[in-house]
Chains A and B, each alone.
Chain A
């Protein structure tokens, strides 16, 4: 017997670390079987953007932006691209497949794990992975003259918190859509615009005023600014940017838990 507690007298808390670690250990066991492919695409995709835009445009059209060489401008911004690609998309598709096709969650919820713990673990795992992948463009940009700075040590933390928010967004979407092809709407309506209006490839202050306002509530834009802060010097406003990312993660976490509970518990 796994417990010595008298029958009917065991108590269990919300958000037990053991439950969260257990769910994450399942993710790790699975990740060991497919990490090569995921790592390859998660690293290569932002690198292609970095090389295409950073090198392509800097060689022909743009030399520098706000006193920063264009490839370094794009390289620091690409952290956000890597984060959204490695968090929102895997959480949407992964959650949907595990729930609808593999019946994985039915098995996990038969164990002493509740929906809140399940969602939290999924988000933490994706955010951890994403924080690692998110740093790759920054490291690559070192080869184009970006000077390592102590402030950059916070970049994994910024990437983690942003990825947490997008993982929650992805889980919530997976619990909301009826069919997997409806993710096309989510990608077209949310993921692509957020990615393009983040200030990765061009500064948002050149955009129409209305778009600039929208960009301010884009978590990816806040991440881009924080990473550039790490590379080129922080400002006081960066504290607010980080607070916004924490708020974004908290909101999507609660929405994801709510939506998954509706989906998983009859």
Chain B
């Protein structure tokens, strides 16, 4: 049974279609990265899955429950880690966890709190108010709070957005541990590296629908080939090189101060400048080619 089954899901806000005929299956036990630029519909999809938005059309089934009618029991079996820190800042770490253990109807609240404190490595700060914690500790606590009832499915909504690299790495370690336990994870992100490191499969979302999906390596092979050549030059020269490469049938994308000629292994002699930096193709190449957006 798939943990999440969405078919033909549409959600509009006035004139804006946030989710546009979304089809998405997430098998149990995998980590699926929902990768897309800002405004792709990732957060709306997350809200649909938690019953905080109701689809205008389509079918949503989560852990065997039909949404929105059975959203409540579905939520009892899933955990959510939100994009924004919404911890109760004046309350202690353990009370933050205990409140959510009760909301999730956990029988042994004390044991659940202790388990989460260990998970978040905050046992020695259990009686500290949240506003006395560092940014990294708060994010670990937020993640642990979403796991207080040992959910079968976890929704991670941009779990590391706006965090510094050290905290991001800490969270990746925790998410990795969660994956290793076999918990199904749907993680929305617009960080390529995050999707590449954590996701078993990546679904690229753009303008409210999935435009490509697969294992990161397969997506790279399918859309970007084996290697990419990056050419650094003044803007005028880059424009000329881009035009030449495209005339030769190669796919080119902007890459900050450079251009990236994707699938450069297929280029004929002379099509790629000699001073180009050749590297293995990445998921970032795929993302930019498919969405037309700069990656982060």
Contact = CB atoms under 8 A, between A and B. Distances in A.
Contacts of A23: 103
Contacts of B54: 265-266
A196 interface: no
A190 B51 CA distance: 34
- B47, B53, B76, B98: residue with the most chain A Cβ atoms closer than 10 Å: B76
A2 B52 contact: no
A104 B76 contact: no
A11 B52 contact: no
Interface in B87-109: 88, 90-92, 95-96, 98-100, 102-107
Nearest to B85: A103
Interface string A108-134: 111111100000000000000000000
Nearest to A2: B149
A116 to B, nearest CB: 11
A41 interface: no
Contacts of A12: 72-73, 76
Interface string B48-82: 00111110000000011100000011011100101
Contacts of A109: 50-52
Contacts of A2: 76-77, 104-107, 149-150
Contacts of B107: 2
Nearest to A266: B53
Nearest to B155: A110
B152 A106 contact: no
A151 B58 CA distance: 59
Interface string A85-120: 000000000000000001110111111111000000
A10 B86 contact: no
Contacts of B247: none
A100 B161 CA distance: 20
Interface in A237-266: 264-266
Interface residues of B, number: 42
B100 A111 contact: yes
Interface string A168-204: 0000000000000000000000000000000000000
Given A111-B104, A112-B105, 19 more contacts: A1-B152, A2-B76, A2-B77, A2-B106, A2-B107, A2-B149, A7-B1, A8-B64, A19-B103, A22-B105, A30-B88, A30-B91, A102-B86, A103-B86, A104-B88, A110-B50, A112-B103, A266-B44, A266-B47
A266 B11 CA distance: 9
B84 interface: yes
A107 B105 CA distance: 15
B82 A107 contact: yes
A26 B44 CA distance: 27
Contacts of A57: none
Nearest first, the 10 A-B pairs at minimum CB distance are A8-B64, A110-B80, A22-B103, A103-B86, A266-B53, A112-B76, A22-B102, A111-B103, A10-B73, A33-B90
Contacts of A7: 1, 63-64, 77, 152
B52 A10 contact: no
B1 A18 contact: no
A3 interface: yes
